[in-house]
Each structure stands twice: as structure tokens, then as C-alpha cells.
Amino acid sequence: AQSVTQLGSHVSVSEGALVLLRCNYSSSVPPYLFWYVQYPNQGLQLLLKYTTGATLVKGINGFEAEFKKSETSFHLTKPSAHMSDAAEYFCAVSLPIYNQGGKLIFGQGTELSVKP
Amino acid sequence: KAGVTQTPRYLIKTRGQQVTLSCSPISGHRSVSWYQQTPGQGLQFLFEYFSETQRNKGNFPGRFSGRQFSNSRSEMNVSTLELGDSALYLCASSLAASGRVPGELFFGEGSRLTVL
């Protein structure tokens, strides 16, 4: 069975500092990988996704993530944090199997705080 | 282009009652998925509908059910409500028709259910 582990339920960084949110997955086959962001009282918004091809994926708002198969990781980074990045971030996987695209397995989430 | 619309946004029910939540997907999207979000369990997949057929189902009891109409609008129903059903219920729609590669899921803002 697939699972996703996000290391650290809360991460705090200073404005302008590097953001690093960690995600490790477990899957019987190489999965598709996603990062979503959720702002208070809102739904989830896709930041980026990895399906196939280049392992370094660039997303919106300056975020990027690198798929490392050997480490079963998909960590999210941003070189310089902005106050508007404060939100909850979710890593998710889905199986590259016919008709499984709508079923995502989510990690527990990491709440990012940005200090001025 | 209108986003995913969920109604109602907030509702309060008592134990034993039933509830119906509605989701209108983005125009042209035929896949609708439902997720339950709670502080303890995080985001959990409920079910996915495509072309009025349930395509995937999560590990929830039979009290949780759903359906999709010919215009792709979807409803989910929870019968015999329990305190533990208090949660944010999120609906997501996708263009992905079939196959392995998942389309981007677009989430609504959710329906927050409180069971007293």
C-alpha cells in the first residue's frame, strides 16, 4: 500500500530564508507525486506535480521539488520565503494505474510559518 | 471560468441525522472526487465518480455514499451521523477522462460539517 510521510508538522522560517519541506513516500511502483498548498478556510491548490521525465519540477510561486527515486523522496523547496507563503502544505501520491488518477494519498501536512 | 463550487459551506447537524453535500465541478470536467479532512486523520479519499459511475472508493463505511449526475454535478450523503463525521469535506474535479496519467485536481473550498 502507498503511504506518504511529511517530516515536521510545523516548520518556521524567516522571511527571505530557504524553505525546505520534506516528503517521503512508500509505494509498490514509482508513483506520481504532488505538492498542494492550503490557505486558511480554502481548498487545496496544486503547486507542482511529477509524473515522468525531468526529476526536478518547477511549480507556481517559485517552488520546486526534486524526485529522488533512490531516496523515495520528493522534498519541496523555495530559495527565499515570503510572508504570503504561510500556509499548510500537503505532499500526495497517486498510482500510475489505469483509472486511479482521482485517488490521491496525502501526507499529514506541514504548516509553514514565515517570520518577518 | 468558474471554479469548483460546494454547497453548503457550513452546516450543523445532530447525531443520527443525515446530510447531503453538493459539488458543481468546473465546466467540462467529468471526474469528481471527494475527500474528508480532519485534524486527526488528515485528508482521506472517499470516492471518485466519472461519467455517473463510481470509479474508486476509499475505506469508509457504507454510511458514506455519493452519486454523480449527467451534468457531472455530484452529491455525497452521510447517513446516521456520528460525532466523528465532523470534518471539512472537499470536492475536487478533473479533466482526466481515463488512463494512468492523472489530471490536475481542482478543489473547492469545502463544506464544513459539525455534528453535535
**Does A100 reach chain B within 8 Å, measured CB to CB?**
yes
Residue that has been written with the C-alpha cell 519541496 in this structure: A76
pLDDT one digit per residue (tens) for chain B, 116 residues: 679 999 999 999 999 999 999 999 999 888 899 999 999 899 999 999 988 999 889 999 999 999 999 999 999 999 999 999 999 999 999 876 555 566 678 999 999 999 99
Q: What is the mean pLDDT of residues A95-109?
A: 79
Q: Is the peptide bond before B8 cis (omega within 30 degrees of 0)?
A: yes
Q: Give dist(CA B109, CA B12) in Å, integer.
A: 17
Q: How far apart are CA B47 and CA A102, in angstroms?
A: 9
B43 touches chain A (CB under 8 A): yes
Closest partner CB to B103 (pick from A97, A101, A108): A101
Q: Is B66 on the interface with A (CB under 8 A)?
A: no
Helix (H) or strand (E) holding B89: strand B87-94
**Residue B37: per-residue pLDDT:** 95
CB count in 10 Å sphere of residue B113: 20
Q: Tell if the CB–CB gap between B108 and A43 is shorter than 8 Å.
A: yes
Tell me the shortest Cα–Cα distance from B110 to chain A, in angstroms.
6
pLDDT digits (tens, 9 = 90+) for A1-43: 788 999 999 999 999 999 999 999 998 777 889 999 999 888 8
Query: Does A95 have pLDDT greater than 90?
Result: no
pLDDT at B91: 96
Counting beta carbons within 10 angstroms of the beta carbon of residue A64, is it exposed (0 to 12), middle (13 to 18) or buried (19 or more)?
middle
- pLDDT tens figures, A43-64: 899 999 998 888 899 999 999 9
State the pLDDT at residue A28.
79
Distance CA A91, CA A42 (A): 17
Write down the pLDDT at residue B56: 86
Q: What is the DSSP letter of B23?
A: E
